[in-house]
Amino acid sequence: MKVVKIIVLATTMVSGVNAAVTLTGAGATFPYPLYSKMFSVYHQKYGIKINYQAIGSGGGIRQLIAKTVNFGASDAYVDDKGLKKFPAPIVHIPMVAGAVVISYNLPGNPKLKLTPDVIADIFLGKIKKWNNSRIRAINPDIKLPDMAIVVVHRSDGSGTTFIFSDYLSKVSNEWKEKVGRGKSLNWPTGLGAKGNPGVAGLIKQIPGAIGYVELIYALNNNMPYAVVQNKSGNFIEPSIKSVSLAADIKLPDDMRVSLTNTEASYGYPISGFTWILVYKDLKDGGLNEEKAKELVKLLWWMTHEGQKYSEPLHYAPLSPKARKKAEAIIKSITYEGKHLWK
């Protein structure tokens, strides 16, 4: 009888500490399948509940500025101009890298090859039919239909859009001048949908549609995606390996870096990191000390043990170089000036 009482008391004490702590985050839909898995496992293991809203990178950044969440998530790093909008300094912790793929809805859904110039001109609205001579020249063995191209893009502020438009701005001067890069764009053509799931759903519904989504959304929906010619002239299939190769570049200490149009010979050209954003001093973000400590523990776990969940969900885990940078950033996080990770 006494033994039973001791066990019950011990359990109550352990769960009582953790059950009171709930962390909140919002932002990118790009890593949502991975974060959903990570946060579920972490909750089961440590009792910390993480409420995450996949509302798009732009929304996550806005909520972090407003301090309505404990952390933001973005597939677009915050540039110097954007950093000035925050009431206090923030840091970027890379989590994984992923591929933005070009998916489409064609009869039989053949495996298409696409070149940078053709991709840009499709999304500029200049190539209007699937049997256009330029698409046929790249895909001579495929019978392409006399069907109108319907461009599908994101309607919300999106890091996936940032990655894709960052790529297009590097490969097309016309795109750079007329549209540019950003989380939200003035699109030259097409239909808008909210989130990666919304874009994937619209592509599946509309014959002749083409759009951009994160790789896992294409795989989960059995959607085809293009093999894309990279800067070296090689046609590259998006995969964990080709994304990892794209990320094998010199990395800055603050990890605000673009992976698009990579110099790597066999790297997939529309790749990008996704980041968790937090205030450098978590007191500035409105957290109490207990939440601050739990958030830093979560970030460390996500960049270490949690990485094993990335590959099964088709994300590229952090390379040793990237993880080392992430460790240094996490160790720099403070609460009232005191470092939280010892």
Per-residue pLDDT at 19: 54
Q: What is the DSSP string of 178-243?
A: HT--SSS---SS-EEESHHHHHHHHHHHSTTEEEEEEHHHHHHTT--B-EEE-TTS-EE---HHHH
Reported as a single tens digit per residue, the pLDDT across 157-216 is 899 999 999 999 999 999 999 999 999 999 999 999 999 999 999 999 999 999 999 999
Reported as a single tens digit per residue, the pLDDT across 238-291 is 999 999 999 989 999 999 999 999 999 999 999 999 999 999 999 999 999 999
Beta-sheet strands, E only, within the chain: 22-27, 49-54, 71-74, 90-104, 113-114, 150-154, 191-193, 209-214, 227-229, 235-236, 271-279, 334-335, 338-339
The CATH number that domain 99-271 falls under is: 3.40.190.10
| pLDDT at residue 10 is higher than 90 | no
User: Under a CB-based contact definition with an 8 Å cutoff, are residues 92 and 204 in contact?
Assistant: no
Report helix angle 159-171 to 116-123, nearest 10.
120
Q: What is the pTM of this model?
A: 0.88
Amino acid in the structure at residue 141: D
Q: Is the domain 2-98+273-339 a CATH 3.40.50.300 member?
A: no
Reported as a single tens digit per residue, the pLDDT across 121-157 is 999 999 999 999 999 999 999 999 999 999 999 999 8
Using 50, 70 and 90 to split pLDDT, how confident is the model at 12? Answer: very low
User: Under a CB-based contact definition with an 8 Å cutoff, are residues 230 and 236 in contact?
Assistant: yes
In the chain, where the domains are located: 2-98+273-339, 99-271
| pLDDT at residue 109 is higher than 50 | yes
Which of 10-14, 43-47, 201-205, 216-220 shows the lowest per-residue confidence on average (mean pLDDT)? 10-14
- The domains spanning 2-98+273-339 and 99-271 adopt the same CATH topology: yes
Alpha-carbon gap, residue 304 to 104, rounded angstroms? 35
